[in-house]
Structure 1
C-alpha cells in the first residue's frame, strides 16, 4: 500500500514537472495545444475546399479532416512523448525512488489527458459551430480514441528502447514515418484507394482507427475494412516487446 502511494506521488510529481516545463514557460501555455490542431485542420479544409466541390464524406470539409487529424495527432504526440520519456526524466531517474516505469506512465497519462481534451474541444467545437448533420455513435468514438492511446503507448515504448540503444534511430524513424500522414487516411477514405494500395495500407493500424472514428460521426459510412482485433493485437505485441526490452536495457540506456 505504501509502495503504491509512493509510486502515485512520483508519477504526479513527474507530470507536474512536465506541465511546468512544457507549457508554463511559453506564452499561451496550454492554449497552443488547442490552437495547433485547429490551425492544421482549417488549412486543410480551406485548401481542399478550393480544389474539391465536396469532401470525400459528408458535407463539411472541417469535420472530415478533423476526424482524421485529431486521432492521428493524438497517436503521434503520445508516441513521441513516451519514446523520449527516459531522456526527458534522465536526471530524476538517478534517484532510486523514481523508476523507468514512473517516467513512461507520467508522460503517457499527461499527454493522453491533454490529447483527449484537445480532441473533445476540436471535434465538438466543429459540431457546434458548423452544419455537419452528424449523428454520433459514442461507442465507435470512444473505441477509436482508446485504440489511438494504446497504439501510441505501444509504439512509444518500443521506440524508447531503440532511441536509447541506437544513436541514429531518431533520424531513421523520422524518414520511415514521414509519409505516415498521407498513408493513414487523414486526407482520403480507404474505399477511394485502388485495390493494390488497399491491400498494403490495410496493415497500417492508423487507417483502422481513423475509419472507426469517422464511422462514429457519419451514420451512413460503413467502414467494413476496420478490424479492432487487428489493432489491439498489433498494439499488445508491440507493447509487450517494448516492455520486455525496456525492463532489460533501461540501465544501459541511462548510462550511455
Structure 2
C-alpha cells in the first residue's frame, strides 16, 4: 500500500510538472492545443471542399475530417509525447522514488485528458453548425480510444527506450512514420480503395482505429474492412512488446539518462 501511495504521489507531482512544462503558466499554451487541430481540420476542409462536392462519408466535410484527424491524434499525440518521456525527465530519475514508468504514466494521463478535452470542444463546436447533430455511439468511441491508447502506449514504451539508447533510431523512426498521416484513412475511407491497395492499407491497425472511431459518429457507416479481432491482437502484441522491452531496460534507462 505504501509503494502504491508513493507511486501515486510521484505521478501526480509529475503531471503537474508536465502541465507547467508543456502548456506554461499562461493560457496561450492551452489555447494552442485547441488551435492546432482546428487549423488542420479547417485547412483540409477548404482544400478538399474545393476538389469534391461531398465528403466520402456524410454531408459535412468538417465532421468527416475532424473524425479522421482527431481519431488519428488519439494515437499519434500520445506516441510523440511518450517517446521522449524518460529522456525529458532525466534529472528526476536520480531520485530513488522516481521510476522511468512514472514519467510514462504521467505523460499518458495528461495527454489522454488533453486530447479528450480538445476533441469534446471541437466536436461540440462542429455539432452547433450542423442542422442535425449525430447520435453518438459511445461504446464505439470508447473502444477506439482503448485500442488507440494501447497501441500508443506500446510504441511509446518501446521508443522511450530506443530514443535513449540509439540516437539514430529517432531519426529513422521519424522518416519511416512520416507518411502514416496520409495512409491511415484520415482523408479517405480505406473501404473505397481498390484491391490490392485496400489490403495493404488495412494491414495498418491505425486504419481500423479511425474506422472504428468514425462508426461512433456515422451510424450508416458499414466499415466493411473493419476487423476488430485483428485490431485487438495488434494492440495487445504492441502493448506487451513495448512493456517487455521497457521492463527489461529499466536499469539501463536509469544509468544512461
Task: Give the TM-score normalised by the residue count of structure 1.
Answer: 0.95
**Structure 1 residue 18: deviation in Å?**
0.7
**Structure 1 residue 47: deviation in Å?**
1.1
- Give the structure 2 partner of residue 112 of structure 1: 112
- Give the structure 1 partner of residue 167 of structure 2: 167
**Structure 1 residue 98: deviation in Å?**
0.3
- Give the structure 1 partner of residue 10 of structure 2: 10
- Give the structure 1 partner of residue 176 of structure 2: 176
1:158–1:239 Cα contact (<8 Å) kept:
no
- Give the structure 2 partner of residue 95 of structure 1: 95
2:253, 2:168 → 1: CA distance?
14
1:104, 1:191 → 2: CA distance?
35
**Structure 1 residue 251: deviation in Å?**
2.5
* Unmatched 5+ stretches in structure 1: none
1:63–1:132 Cα contact (<8 Å) kept:
no
**Structure 1 residue 224: deviation in Å?**
2.4
1:131, 1:40 → 2: CA distance?
23
- Give the structure 1 partner of residue 253 of structure 2: 253
- Give the structure 1 partner of residue 244 of structure 2: 244
1:161–1:242 Cα contact (<8 Å) kept:
no
1:148, 1:165 → 2: CA distance?
26
Matched, 1:199 2:184: no
- Give the structure 1 partner of residue 24 of structure 2: 24
2:75, 2:180 → 1: CA distance?
12
Give the superposed CA RMSD.
Answer: 1.5
2:244, 2:137 → 1: CA distance?
37
**Structure 1 residue 253: deviation in Å?**
3.1
- Give the structure 2 partner of residue 152 of structure 1: 152
Q: How does 1:41-190 map to 2 (within 5 A)?
A: 41-131=41-131, 134-190=134-190
- The structure 1 segments of at least 4 consecutive aligned residues displaced by more than 6 Å after TM superposition are none
**Structure 1 residue 147: deviation in Å?**
1.6
1:162–1:169 Cα contact (<8 Å) kept:
yes
2:27, 2:69 → 1: CA distance?
25
1:133, 1:29 → 2: CA distance?
30
